[in-house]
Amino acid sequence: MSAVEEAANEAPAVEAVPKRAMTLGYGTSLVVLALLIIVPMFLKNFFVFQLTMLLIYALAVLALNILTGGSGQFSLGQSAFYAVGAYTSAILMEHMGVNYALTLPVAGIICFGFGFLFGQPALRLSGIYLALATFALAVAMPQLLKLGFFEHWTGGVQGLVVTKPDAPFGLPISQDRWLYYFTLVVSIGIYIASVNLLKSRSGRAFMAIRDNEIAASAMGVDVALYKTLAFGVSAGITGVAGGLGAIAVQFVAPDGYTITLAISLFLGMVVGGVGWLPGSIVGSAFIIFVPNIAEHISKGLSGAVFGVLLFLVIFLVPHGARQVAMVAQQMLGKLKKN
């Protein structure tokens, strides 16, 4: 069997999601946005910090969602891009005194380049093989960061401590709250850009490749270009998330970016619903809060409790938050008719 036949017969790795089902309606978006703006005003700093992390991981999950849900490519290597973004921001801030806000675009661009380049060899791989190649990247990254060669910049195993920015213009809000709103603005910008990207010509090309590579190339889509582009965009957004993460946590060290992080992000995507961008925030909430709940239930068996909860989610709502949202929408529709 030739490679072409093999590709043609292969079941699509990711279920086709129609374009319109990828986003939220206008009204719902506004409600969510209003909640995200108002709620933190009434919370303690610690919860604001947690919400900041929620947004940051949501960005990273969103990035993976564009790659997997959009173009149908798997990646278990997102932690590597996240680490590169985090280190870029940390090094620029601590060694070169660059303003934190300016480090984010740099982190994004460097990670875009990194992801684009990694996408080149990844072109030859698909499905689980691609997942394995990216897995290798995630495993290698913490060790690369420890290399003596980079130690002057990365701080080696000791990591780098990052200074947390104060609110500008003497605004009377705490560092945590300022950072939250800063992250919120960045996240909204990236979310809108991502939604538009998927609605655009490029987005349609991604989805055509996801649904059927051969058909897409017959339609004149440059498969190689768009596949690597998807990798680049995904890595770039992950890099920005990594940079924000470094600023929020105030510390980068190789141990923070292990394969566990990559798997968490993957988990977040599945729980949120593959290919459904608003699900990213639900997935992110799952990977941040559910381990804490599990620990609350049993300290010694927290891993097992987490496993059970995850199993329940996958078993009851295999399409994640998207399924819940759709069911809710249908019920609302019925109510309106009555």
Partner 1 sequence: MPATLRTAAFGAAVAAFAFAPASALAQKKYDTGATDTEIRVGHIVPYSGPASAYGVIGKTEEAYFRMVNDNGGINGRKVKFVSYDDAYSPPKAVEQVRKLVESDEVLVVFNPLGTPSNSAIQKYLNAKKVPQLFVATGATKWNDPKHFPWTIGWQPSYQSEALIYAKYLMKEKPDAKVVVLYQNDDFGKDYVKGLKDGFGAKASMIVAEESYEISEPTIDSHIVKLKATGADVFISITTPKFAAQAIKKLAEIDWKPMHILSNVSISVGSVIKPAGFENAQGILSAAYAKDAADPQWQDDPGMKKFLALLDKYYPEADRLNTSVVYGYGAAQTLTKVLEMCGDNLTRENIMKQAANLKDFTPDTLLPGVKINTSTTDFAPIEQLQMMRFKGEKWDLFGDIISGEAGH
Residues lying near partner 1 in the complex (CB under 8 A): 44-47, 49-50, 53, 143, 146, 156-159, 161, 245, 249-253, 255-256, 258, 260, 295, 299-300, 302-303
Least distance from C-beta 303 to partner 1, angstroms? 5
Instruction: Tell the smallest beta-carbon distance from residue 153 to partner 1 (Å).
Output: 17
Q: How many CB atoms lie within 10 A of CB 42?
A: 8
Nearer to partner 1, 52 or 73 (CB): 52
Q: Least separation, in Å, of the C-beta of 43 and partner 1?
A: 10
Question: Measured between alpha carbons, how far is 88 from 299 in angstroms, rounded to an integer?
Answer: 35
Nearer to partner 1, 297 or 331 (CB): 297
Residue 120 or 250 having the CB closest to partner 1: 250
In the complex, least distance from residue 95 CB atom to partner 1, rounded to whole angstroms: 17
At 251, is the secondary structure helix, strand, or coil? strand
CA dist 338 and 320 (Å) reads 28
The least distance separating partner 1 from the CB of residue 144, rounded to whole angstroms, comes to 12
Q: Quick one: 77 or 159, whose CB is closer to partner 1?
A: 159
Q: What are the structure tokens assigned to 161, written together?
A: 């401590």
CB of 91 to partner 1, least distance (A): 16
Helices (H), the chain: 3-9, 26-38, 45-65, 71, 78-96, 100-122, 127-146, 151-154, 175-199, 201-211, 213-218, 223-249, 259-272, 279-297, 302-316, 321-337
- Residues 288, 53: Cα–Cα separation, whole Å: 8
Complex with partner 1: residue 116 or 251, whichever CB lies closer: 251
Residue number, 143 or 338, with CB nearest to partner 1? 143
19/44 with CB nearer partner 1: 44
How far from each other are the two terminal CA atoms of the chain, in whole angstroms? 56
Read off the DSSP letter of residue 11. P
User: CB of residue 254 vs partner 1: minimum separation in angstroms?
Assistant: 8
- Check if the beta carbon of residue 164 is closer than 8 Å to that of residue 177: no
Q: Is 168 left (phi over 0), alpha (psi -120 to 50) or beta?
A: beta
Q: How far is the CB of 161 from partner 1 (least distance, A)?
A: 5
The residue (of 119 and 155) whose beta carbon lies closer to partner 1 is 155
Least distance in angstroms from the C-beta of 232 to partner 1: 25
Residue 251 has φ and ψ, to the nearest 5°, of -160, 140
- Nearer to partner 1 by Cβ, of 99 and 260: the residue is 260
- For every residue of 141-190, DSSP letters joined together read HHHHHH-GGGHHHH-GGG-EE-PPPPPGGG-SS-HHHHHHHHHHHHHHHH
The candidate with the shortest Cα–Cα distance to 143, out of 201, 80, 215, is 80
